[in-house]
Structure 1
Amino acid sequence: MSLDRIDEYLKEHAGDFEEQLKELIRIPSVSAQPDHDSDTRRAAEFIRDDLARMGMTAEIIPTKRHPIVYAESLGAPGKPTVLIYGHYDVQPPEPLEPWLSPPFEPTVRNGNLYARGATDDKGQMFTHLKAVEAWLKTTGGLPVNVKIIIEGEEEIGGSNLETYVAENPDKLACDYAVISDTSQFAPGKPAITYGLKGLAYFEIHVQGANRDLHSGTYGGAVANPLNALANILDGLKGPDGRIKVEGFYDKVKPLEDWERQAFRDLPFSEEEFRTELGVNEVFGEEGYSTLERKGARPTCDVHGVWGGYSGPGPKTVLPCKAGAKFSFRLVPDQDPVEIERLVRKHIETHTPPGVTVEFISHQGSPAVLVDVDSPGFHAAVKAIEASFGVAPLFIREGGSIPVVGLLKKHLKVDTLLLGWGQNDDNLHGPNEKFSLADFHRGIKASAHLLEELSRTS
């Protein structure tokens, strides 16, 4: 049987796969820092060469910034086409002091591989490449048609990828998309993420007088931009956790009864959650559990506030300008463009007299909800159970992965979000890690997924 041969190949080459991953991780492909532009190119070349060695047709596609790697193997006529997505770029490693080992020298401790990019996303992306390799080296072909697209700008917005996808819908056409850039629910509890929140991110600048003023001389006579900013921000959300922007909830898709029950059935301890975070109580929208708030209800959060004097000692300044950055996590069927219009109108209406407000929109992406009763979803369940030994949980996450909406928009395809990482993998932070056991389980699950998807035709 093909899968038995595949599984044997994976066992025989497990050590090789780890060494290859370490080699890729040693390339400091930090997309945000121009000093590393040559490294992002090296990472792209590494992946292209690896795919070519497997027997795939592989190429590097230049963009205005970092290149895209594209590869395909279309030797399975009549079978579904699977598009595998990943990214080779990584976050900056700073601050360096908390790292217990150099961020770009992969180090194994307690069964985990520690390095920048270990889980986000080099390690997780690499599982799919090695699954494809196992099929090609063992059987000489793939049970489905496979297209692979690996970008180098996910950590900085990925605008060039969207241009490429929008311009090449026929080339990238597929029946299923697969991404591993999320996490399991907990150790030993693999999960398929069937819902992601969208995002609407804004910044406001509040202008008062034409210069900073003495608060004793001018206080009470002119508006204080910091006070006005506080009033504006306070007006976005009430003490019950409900967002107060007029019309904000009009298009929110309600949670279905089975989803609420699924949230209740997840092995989650609120007490452990509070203890881990060091908070004495949870907070959020009334009428919903912590997991529902985190994964399936819209939220509003302020990310940064500036203005006035914050140095040591007192300074009785009345600042002329203040600002803040804040965002809304969105759920189906909220439209980021419509939310921007509503928020802009709300702030214009609730701006106190004596100040003016500049409203800046940074980015937006829609929420994603995948049909859990689709053939592809059922195939993923079988593949994960075959590798991890337990059936996966179905979860919704509060994060946003814009590429999922991009693929839906331009290719009209749903994405299978299969996370092999853990919630404590410290992605984006010091001492990022990835369990090597989960790395190998992810490869096996991906290899089995290709076979399971072939049966959906």
Structure 2
Amino acid sequence: MSDYKTYFAERRDQHLNELKEWLSIPSISALSEHKGDILASAKWLADALTRAGMETVEIHETEGHPIVYAERMKAPGKPTILIYGHYDVQPVDPLNLWTTPPFEPNIRDGKIFARGATDDKGQLFLHVKAVEAILRQEGKLPVNVKFVVEGEEEIAGVSLPKFLEENSEKLKCDAVVISDSSLLEPGKPSICTGLRGLCSLEITVTTARTDLHSGLYGGAVPNALHALTSLVATLHDEKGRVTVEGFYEGVPTLTDLEKQDLASYNPDEKKLAADLGLDTLYGEEGYTFTERTGARPTLELNGVWGGFQGEGTKTVIPKEAHAKITCRLVGTQDPQRTLDRIDAHLYKHLQPGAKLHIQHIERANAFTCDPSDRMLQLAADAYEEVYGTRAVFTKDGGSIPVVATFSSVLKSPVVMMGFGLPDENLHAPDEHFSLDNFDKGLLTLVNYLHKTAGASAV
């Protein structure tokens, strides 16, 4: 690896300048005014893959945002590694909380700050440069490599699942490698073997035809905000357990071995609370922080609004109020059935005089894989040789819907090799990526591609 250390050290400034160029493109998939930036970001990546040495590079148009596909299949008899990532990014609000503009990448304190720095342009960029480095150093890749990169991950788009179904033979591989997750903490790599599923909905409670004067009608007519807040308060009991009938169907009971494994990387909960500016953590009674966030389902309010929002006061009784709800799912919980159960609960507990409208939004199954699979074990070895400590296998509380789709459609192990850190503000102001993990990530991925060359090909 010493030659690669020298190679990357000599080109570090060049590589960071290239990454800055990509991060400068505001490829926000959720906002239609950035459709041109989405296309520019896809084209930038396609050009970078071509420069890296990928032989076939294609931009596939979809009904949504383009999918970038690339391959280099010149290692006969060797395994094929498919690398997935996304080039779209989250919106930047609130803009005033950014220290430097989100699309003007800035390096300070050993980190690169920009929207997309860790989620996911920065991490995906490592794969492009790892492939390029091997080709520059050795003239050939030790394995066959494919890239599939989408522009709809941040909006739970439908284009990639459709693309996978229609091109399953073309995308056939021995492992899907994804770098869109994080280490446990600095210097402690991890490989995620489980992701929670997801379902979400938005509810609207309405009452009268118009807002009403609180002096003339207060206390005598239903208030949409009161109806909404009393309704959402019924979704949990005083011990943090979800009260929706049937909600926990399909949730596996943790075995003693699983509890021991989760306990091995459970944080100091008092310190974690203090670091977050909290007096104490909160959640379903009887479970640790790691169990709550990795192995248990949740139902969370993501936004509640209604009534007068301006400066000063306006004495009205609001005619409507809204809430957004997201559930993280585990085991065999079915997303649509969970939504249907929540619907039934909400209608059952709705205050008299109020009307309810429900819109279902996202649905994704939970994902789990076998940590003993050789492709995952080789990834843990690759981390160890660079970080000096072997990666541990964890369950992540987040949801990457396409991971379960890759697993079910391609029937290949999914290797979650993340290089971010939990506190890098993904989806928040001042998103950043550690340059120490930038450097080590490049070496780890080069190492992994060499290690997988000895695995059996499909």
Structure 2 residue matching 1:199: 3-state secondary structure = strand
- Using the size of structure 2 for normalisation, the TM-score is 0.93
Q: Match for residue 34 of structure 2?
A: 36
Q: Equivalences for 1:296-375 in 2 at 5 Å?
A: 296-312=295-311, 315-375=314-374
In structure 1, what is the Cα distance between the partners aligned to 2:202 and 2:266? Answer: 37
Q: Structure 2 residue aligned with 1:17, among 3, 15, 19?
A: 15
Query: How far is the alpha carbon of 1:258 from its aligned partner?
Result: 2.2
CA distance in 1, matches of 2:216, 2:288: 50
Corresponding residue for residue 99 of structure 2 = 100
Name the residue aligned to 2:204: 205
Which residue number in structure 2 is paired with residue 281 of structure 1?
Answer: 280
Q: Could you tell me how far apart the structure 2 residues matched to 1:99 and 1:37 are? A: 23
Q: Distance in 2 between matches of 1:316 and 1:109?
A: 48
**SS of the residue aligned with 1:200?**
strand
SS at match of 2:146: strand
Q: Distance in 1 between the 2:433 and 2:301 partners?
A: 30
* Residue 78 to residue 256, structure 1, CA distance change in 2 (3 Å): farther
| Aligned-pair CA distance for 1:312 | 5.0
Partner of 2:412, secondary structure, is: coil
- Structure 2, unmatched stretches of 5+, are none
Q: Assess, with a 3 A threshold, how the Cα gap between structure 1 residues 37 and 422 changes in structure 2: closer, same or farther.
A: same
More moved, 245-254 vs 208-217: 208-217
Give the SS at the match of 2:243: coil
SS of residue matched to 1:132: helix
Q: What is the total number of aligned residue pairs between the two structures?
A: 455
1:153-192 residue pairs with structure 2 within 5 A?
153-192=152-191
How many Å apart are 1:220 and its aligned residue? 5.1
Question: Please, which moves more after superposition, 6-15 or 132-141?
Answer: 6-15
Q: Indicate how the Cα distance of structure 1 residues 142 and 281 shifts in structure 2: closer, same or farther if over 3 A, else same.
A: same
Partner of 1:52: 50
Q: Distance in 1 between matches of 2:156 and 2:441?
A: 26
Structure 1 SS opposite 2:85: strand
Aligned to 1:254: 253
Structure 1-normalised TM-score?
0.93
Looking at structure 1, the residues matched to 273 and 266 of structure 2 have their Cα atoms a distance apart, in angstroms, of 15
Q: 1:275 to 1:324 in 2, by over 3 A?
A: same
Between stretches 382-391 and 22-31, larger displacement belongs to 22-31
Structure 1 runs not aligned, ≥5 long? none
**Cα 1:377–1:97, aligned 2, differ >3 Å: closer, same or farther?**
same
Q: How many Å apart are 1:46 and its aligned residue?
A: 2.0
In the TM superposition, residue 219 of structure 1 has moved relative to its aligned partner by 4.7
SS for the counterpart of 1:163 is helix
Q: Match of 1:167, as an amino acid?
A: E
What does 1:65-76 correspond to in 2, within 5 Å? 65-76=64-75
Partner SS state of residue 378, structure 1: helix
Paired residue secondary structure (1:235): helix
Aligned mates of 1:318, 1:49 — CA distance in 2? 57
Closer, same or farther: CA 220–267 of 1 in aligned 2, 3 Å: closer
**One-letter amino acid of the structure 2 residue matched with residue 435 of structure 1:** S
TM-superposed deviation, 1:156: 2.5
Shift of 1:218: 4.1
SS of 2:96 mapped into structure 1 = coil
**Cα distance between partner residues in 1 of 2:104 and 2:204:** 42
Choose 26-35 or 429-438, whichever is displaced more.
26-35
Q: Which shows bigger deviation, 319-328 or 35-44?
A: 35-44
Q: Deviations over 1:412-440 (max 9, x none)?
A: 33321111111221222222211112111
Q: Percent identity?
A: 46
Counterpart contact for 2:197–2:366, Cα < 8 Å: yes
Q: CA RMSD in A?
A: 2.1
Aligned to 2:378: 379
What is the match of residue 141 of structure 2? 142
User: Is the partner of 1:416 in helix, strand or coil?
Assistant: strand
Amino acid at match of 1:227: H
Q: 1:118 to 1:75 in 2, by over 3 A?
A: same
Is it true that 1:238 corresponds to 2:251 in the alignment?
no
CA distance in 1, matches of 2:431, 2:149: 21
